Amino acid sequence: MTEAVKQPALDPTTVSPRTGSSYPAPFDEPCREREKRVLGDPLGLTQYGVNLTTLAPGAWSAQRHWHKHEDEFVYILEGEVTLVTDAGEQLLGPGMAAGFPAGKEDGHCLINRSDRPASFLEVGSRAALEQGVYPDIDMTFEIRDRKASFFHKNGDPY
């Protein structure tokens, strides 16, 4: 393709990637090799967010978590990831999808246990106020105005 892409289309490679995580240490460690390209914002989407996420071998999408107010959906594009939930683990490959309804207390994350990168689309609603829980660690989160804050489960901030 030699022609420049014009709105409403977007070439994801033109979007600067965000690498790592905003988690406090040491919880950021498994996500340091996670790369996200925010696709919804440059297209002017306000009702839901869309990210193109790439996990290097060994990287996690997030700490295992669940959302109180937001639905979340992932669609695997390439590579393989292990989906971890309360029910256990299962391997997801290209063309497979998973969904996580708001308020369902079943923590989830994706881990790339393969020897090559894996990428997926991540779609989530944009609740004005979002809260969630990390069931495996002493951490909760709150998102206001698209800025995340992290707390101990007793309410003390990190």
Residue 3 has what pLDDT?
A: 74
Domains of the chain: 27-130 (2.60.120.10)
Q: Is the pTM of this model over 0.75?
A: yes
Residue 52 has what pLDDT?
A: 98
pLDDT in tens, 2-29: 578 999 999 999 999 999 999 999 999 9
- DSSP-assigned letter for residue 34: E
- Is pLDDT at 66 greater than 90 in this prediction? yes
Residue 1 has what pLDDT?
A: 53
* Residue 71 in tokens: 């639905």
pLDDT in tens, 109-126: 999 999 999 999 999 999
List CB contacts of 95: < 8 A, sequence separation 6 or more: 76
- Closest listed residue to residue 126, CA positions, set 71, 74, 73: 71
Residue 29 has what pLDDT?
A: 98
